[in-house]
Amino acid sequence: MSSLSQRPQAPVVGLAVPHESARAHATGQALYTDDIAQRTANTLTAWPVQSPHAHARVRSIEAGAALAVQGVVRVLTAADVPGINDAGIKGDEPLFPAEAMFRGHAVAWVLGEDQAAARAGAAAVAVDWEPLPSIISLAEAIEAGSFQGVARTVRRGDAGAGLATAHLVVSGTTECSGQEHFYLETQAALAVVDEGGQVFVQSSTQHPSEAQEILAQVLGLASHDITVQSLRMGGGFGGKEMQSHAYAAVAALGTLLTGRPVRVRLNRTLDMTMTGKRHGFLMDWEAGFAEDGRLLALKAQLTSDGGWCLDMSEAVMARALCHVDNAYYIPDIELRGRIAHSNKTSQTAFRGFGGPQGMLLVEDILGRSAPLLGIAPEELRRRNFYSEGQSTPYGMPVRDAGRITGIWEQLLERSDFAVRRREVDDFNAAHQNRKRGLAATPVKFGISFNLIAFNQAGALVHVYKDGSVLINHGGTEMGQGLHTKMLQVAATALGLPLSSIRLAPTRTDKVPNTSATAASSGSDLNGGAVKDACGQILARLAPVAGAMMGVPAGDVRFSRGIVTGLGVAGPGVPFADVVRQAYLQRVQLWAAGHYRTEGLHWNPETMQGEPFKYFACGAAVAEVEVDGFTGAYTQRRTDIIHDAGDSLSPMVDIGQIEGGYVQGVGWLTLEDLRWDDSGGPNRGMLLTQSASTYKLPSFSEMPEVFNVHLLEHAVEEGAVYGSKAVGEPPLMLAFAAREALRDAVGAFGPAVRSTTLASPATPEAVFWAVHSASDAAARGHANGGTGHTPGTPAPEPESGQPQPAAVRP
Amino acid sequence: MDNNELLAGTDPAFTVNGAPRQFGPGPANTTALDWLRSNGLTGAKEGCAEGECGACAILVAQPDRHGGTAWTAVNSCLIPMASLDGQELLTAEGLGTPGSLHPVQEAMAGAGGSQCGYCTPGFVCSMAAEYYRPDRGAPAQRPADSGAAQPSETGPNGFDLHALSGNLCRCTGYRPIRDAAFSLGRPPAVKPDGDPLAARCGSPAPALRTTLLERGDGVFVRAATLEQAASLLAANPGAVLVAGSTDWGVEVTIRARRAPLAIAIDRIPELDAIDVREDEIEIGAAVPLSEIERVLGARVPLLGQLIPQFASRLIRNRATLGGNLGTASPIGDSPPALLALDARLILASAAGERTVPLSEFFTGYRSTVRAADELIKSVLIPMPLAGLTAFHKVAKRRFDDISSVAAAFALTLDGGRLTRVRIGLGGVAATPLRARATEDALAGRPWTRETAEAAAAVLETEGTPMDDHRASARYRSAMLANALLKLHADSTQKQEEQS
């Protein structure tokens, strides 16, 4: 066992403790960025001037009328930027654009004494627009050849040859919608400038170091002139990895120009119309199967909707291409990925980061093909699982491949799958208007940033003379429980109770050059760094303690706040006494820790290498019930076994799994982003720009029975205390719910028929799928066999999914 | 404005978390949320500013109609602070502190009910209201929905999950929050060391005050009598009438509108009463929907079906029939049900009163026959009620969503034959409407599958549905037809089960 993964006696990691801020959350005492702004006197509020066009040149901006509004202090435009007018890292993201690239794009900001003044001022700013042609839908972008970034291909073997030899070839199109993050706390920043011209920005951000760099770029300052703090976020989900920087930049520019504190807090409408979302994808594919159901070949073209600027779209596409395989071995494969350029918000990171879209493709293919192969979907999936010795299409060996099959078998047994399959079939036979569906799907998700440099982290651990400990690390807290885990790691590493450790807010002047808290990597990276710092301190304390107890340093043990020596009788020495003695001996009582993930290599040109430290695995079984009259459905039961390694914090990890699952169910079944792509006056408008029109899962979407278990004895050698990352992978367990819906829809149709289902599978989409299925049943398509073409014309006007199935013998 | 009959304007005052507070400076349109946050109580959050997410939920001590007080959860983002003049408010900060948690906070914190924590203070307030609900324990009486199997929405402790239907959490997936809710015990007995918030329920809630607040952005006034409201309205025909303010609040927050004059009508006795008479039921226009549900949910099954599907508990604690009808949205949920119930409205003005059938009330998109100087006084529901009623709402989400289509049915059967049929529809035209052609196709016929199918084909063609982000026109039409087919299937299934 590696020293990184090894746990000492009585570790604090592994204990199921509540979130470290739970009591502050529940009492309203926990502060968020705008709560701090409310407590800051003399603060100005910024409000954007938004484009009413999907694409338009700014001929001029006339601010006179705005400045005449009572309470308006200043109007910020491109002319005010002392540095570079760009809030991104790719040089394509002007903070004050000369050309509005999407409807809602901010071209100027107004500072007012309060929100009402700033908002009234923004309404009074006169912009002379020159409307330009726009591209809204993916289809329009493809038609116009409107792309951005570099197209990439993952290739192994010869997909064409593989398809030619297949027993059955199925082809189709799979389209999925984007997803709004809908973190409950919208984007927010508060900036103040001090007497020396240093700018201090509190930002609701997942990436304080990058915020610092971008503020330096915009303000024309050096990084040491700027400090960024991220106290906590009211949710991030990737939406505050990069998209938060522009708002921090506006606040920072405002404070620099006025000398007063400036706050930006988007209201929900602004947040939804201005910030990026999960990428929608359009995927054309052709898959070849052997007679026994083995996937032989897959050829696919993936097109993502990147929106108006590049943001992280290339990395999202890379991860999508690296996750099309999910848990399945596909020998001959060719996956092409390209990014459309459209006049929409710039789509960005969102929990899973392309992985969900890539995995949706293969799960959709398997779900649609299983009936054509005459194989039960769960059996078809099992037959295609990776086995030991096989590699991914991008050349990475799938170590611990047996873990997927192991989880699968455990889960099917634990969820009584076989018994419930019969119960569901019996129910469906007895009910004409209601049908139930049952399905199982696996998850295999690669952990590490594809960008190798991001796979490092820092920490700063202080031990004070009284034995109390203050830790800093580079990760940010967005609800995922990172700080809770870091407290547990520090307590474990120092052999102290949790009560001895305190955690200070994440800020760039404590730990510099940090990576985004993203890619599920927060605990792995920062945990490694915290452990390193604690280890350095213990290495210095051990000789002091050894001398106190008359044993060699190597025989000193730190546990539960007591220091003992091997073979030394008695209760041991309190940690604080050792610390005090060390201080008197002039021993350094603090340490900076660093961690880098070993063993990664990746060639972004060839899309080959080992970009991941390991894979996180899991599987879910879902049961749903569909009302044939309306297409409405309920989530009856979900069972999950997920691999979080040896969990650092089980309550936190279970929370991540459940929350990720329900968020994934939201993406796949409920959350319905609609953009106006008509030629009308609202072209380019996000039609679902509020909580009343964009519905998140609520209590009614939680599975009535929800059994979540962590995989036991799951130590991961390559990560801190044997744990695994858990932030993103569970989102993709939600495919089980989508496949269960497909199963239920299929029960309205003939015995053997491929069922297509739109994504999101809203009640309306499910209704039309049921309609097709019942139609097929009524028209006597129950002819069975594997060679038929399900040629029922799709009546669903919104499914976006023509029926698949070019089938060759 | 003629305010001779009103009290002189005073600085509204409140009890917030047990301490007296003054409104102080600030615009008349200031929401309760903004007031709390700018006065140091940042526990309540703005998540959506339209009463959809519940992050802003707080508790208000309201009369429980039995002489005591009910801690009532409301969306503070929608309510003008001035309208809470004289009221007692509680926020998450007032329920407990990290060192001394309230039982609800203890349950939430211990169960893993918070992750990012932003929604948590709101959840805690909604949960506390249900914790203190005096009749909790008796599982909520709600007519069984005839649709898909209903998950268990009532805990072993009587906790009704609908109490949390207006609170959104993006992190947890809700399971730990449900566990926390279902683990709550009873408030401790009222003793010297008992729960003072439980003890508070035993004495009356503060009455609403006749408030007058005049500020640069507008005037807020609460009328004491119908006459006063009518004369104010006559003198100021552009005034905004507010009771629960759940609709107007959205105009203020999302569309930045300001009311030059807002007249609160929630203290007018005639508007705040439910009167059950032999020949009809009269529901005051300003009675909150939660109250209607309590009083009439069992007596008028169609309302008993409608109200739990109407927005969320947080909204229903404030929203009124007068508001839902007056705003005249084609997708309001009460008009279809009230149309099926053959409801009439009493409109009142300084000149007197008149009664209008609801089916003649709506004249176009968000327009009605109500004159600028009139207010809706009450809703009349004739008795006896039809024997077979149903409310079918089609939406993306089961809890707290806006209808794509809503259809309400009230069918009177005599010997298996339909003698009287009323069908109200929403979401298929510029106004809510009666499905008259379908009513004709059903009336006088036997209630058979054939009749239902023939009438469904007619119902499918009623109205002029359109495509929008909620649904396609085609789906809306199909849902009309299927609502009738489903009603028939359910009613015959029930008959079979009974026989």
Structure confidence by residue, pLDDT tens digits, A496-540: 999 999 999 999 999 999 999 999 999 999 999 999 999 999 999
Q: What is the pLDDT of residues B43-56, one digit of tens each?
A: 999 999 999 999 99
Handedness of CA A484, A485, A486, A491 (dihedral sign): positive
Is the CB of A627 inside 8 Å of chain B's CB atoms? yes
Q: How far apart are CA A514 and CA B417, in angstroms?
A: 75
- The residue assigned the tokens 């009620």 is B385
Contacts A–B by Cβ distance under 8 A: 276
By annotation, the residues of A acting in catalysis are 728
Using CA atoms, how far residue A588 sits from A464, A540, A552, in Å, is 10, 8, 20
pLDDT at B440 over 50: yes
The whole-number average pLDDT for the span B291-296 is 96
pLDDT at B137 over 90: no
Q: Which residues of B385-402 are buried (b: 16+ CB within 10 A; e: fewer)?
A: bbebbbbbbbbbbbbbbb
pLDDT confidence of residue B192: 63
Using CA atoms, how far residue A583 sits from A461, A588, B328, in Å, is 15, 7, 75
pLDDT at A802 over 90: no
Give the E-state strand segments of B235-303 in sequence order: 240-242, 261-264, 274-276, 280-284
Calculate how close chain B gets to A735, using CA atoms only, in Å: 16
Is the CB of A431 inside 8 Å of chain B's CB atoms? no
Integer-rounded Cα Rg, in Å, for chain A is 28
pLDDT at B8 over 70: no
Calculate how close chain A gets to B128, using CA atoms only, in Å: 12
pLDDT at B77 over 50: yes
The whole-number average pLDDT for the span A639-665 is 98
| Among A residues 342-401, those touching chain B with beta carbons less than 8 Å apart | none
Q: How far apart are CA A79 and CA A72, in angstroms?
A: 18
Bridge partners (DSSP) listed for residue A457? A595
A632 contacts B117? CB cut-off 8 A: no
B169 contacts A691? CB cut-off 8 A: no
Using CA atoms, how far residue A229 sits from A226, A258, B52, in Å, is 10, 21, 30
Is the CB of B44 inside 8 Å of chain A's CB atoms? yes
Are B134 and A678 within 8 A, CB to CB? no
Are A498 and A491 within 8 A, CB to CB? yes
Q: Looking at chain B, which residue has its C-alpha nearest residue A351? A: B171
State the alpha helices, DSSP H only, in B97-157: 103-110, 120-132
B170 contacts A183? CB cut-off 8 A: yes
Sort out which chain A residues have CB atoms less than 8 A from B475's CB and list them: 764, 767-768
A234 contacts B117? CB cut-off 8 A: yes
Question: Which residue among B171, B256, B471 places its CB closest to the CB of A235?
Answer: B171
pLDDT at A696 over 60: yes
Residue type, B136: R
Q: What is the pLDDT of residues A292-328, one digit of tens each?
A: 999 999 999 999 999 999 999 999 999 999 999 999 9
**Residue A761 banded pLDDT, cuts 50, 70, 90:** very high
The whole-number average pLDDT for the span A264-270 is 98
pLDDT confidence of residue B191: 65
The whole-number average pLDDT for the span A634-648 is 98
Q: How far apart are CA A189 and CA B102, in angstroms?
A: 32
Where is average pLDDT lowest: A339-343, A750-754, A804-808? Answer: A804-808
Q: What is the pLDDT of residues A15-39, one digit of tens each?
A: 999 999 999 999 999 999 999 999 9
Sort out which chain A residues have CB atoms less than 8 A from B168's CB and list them: 184, 691, 696, 698
pLDDT confidence of residue A489: 98
Among B170, B333, B394, the strongest candidate for a mutation testing the A interface, having the largest count of A CBs within 10 A, is B170
Integer-rounded Cα Rg, in Å, for chain B is 23
pLDDT at A790 over 90: no
Is the CB of B19 inside 8 Å of chain A's CB atoms? no
The whole-number average pLDDT for the span B465-479 is 96
B489 contacts A699? CB cut-off 8 A: no
Using CA atoms, how far residue B41 sits from A30, A235, A595, B37, in Å, is 11, 21, 40, 5
Calculate how close chain A gets to B238, using CA atoms only, in Å: 22
pLDDT at B1 over 80: no
Handedness of CA A57, A61, A65, A71 (dihedral sign): positive
The whole-number average pLDDT for the span A770-790 is 66
pLDDT confidence of residue B140: 46
pLDDT confidence of residue A803: 41
Residues contacting A246, CB < 8 A, separation 6+:
A87, A93, A95, A106
Give the E-state strand segments of A381-491 in sequence order: 434-447, 456-463, 469-473
Q: How far apart are CA A256 and CA A44, in angstroms?
A: 12
Is the CB of A182 inside 8 Å of chain B's CB atoms? yes
Tokens of A706: 């929800």
Sort out which chain B residues have CB atoms less than 8 A from A652's CB and list them: 112
The whole-number average pLDDT for the span A789-804 is 36
- The residue assigned the tokens 């997803």 is A179
The helix (H) or strand (E) run that includes residue B95 is helix B92-95
Calculate how close chain A gets to B51, using CA atoms only, in Å: 9
Tokens of B453: 């199918």
pLDDT at A789 over 70: no
Residue A16, SS3?
A: coil
The helix (H) or strand (E) run that includes residue A532 is helix A522-549
Are A28 and B93 within 8 A, CB to CB? yes
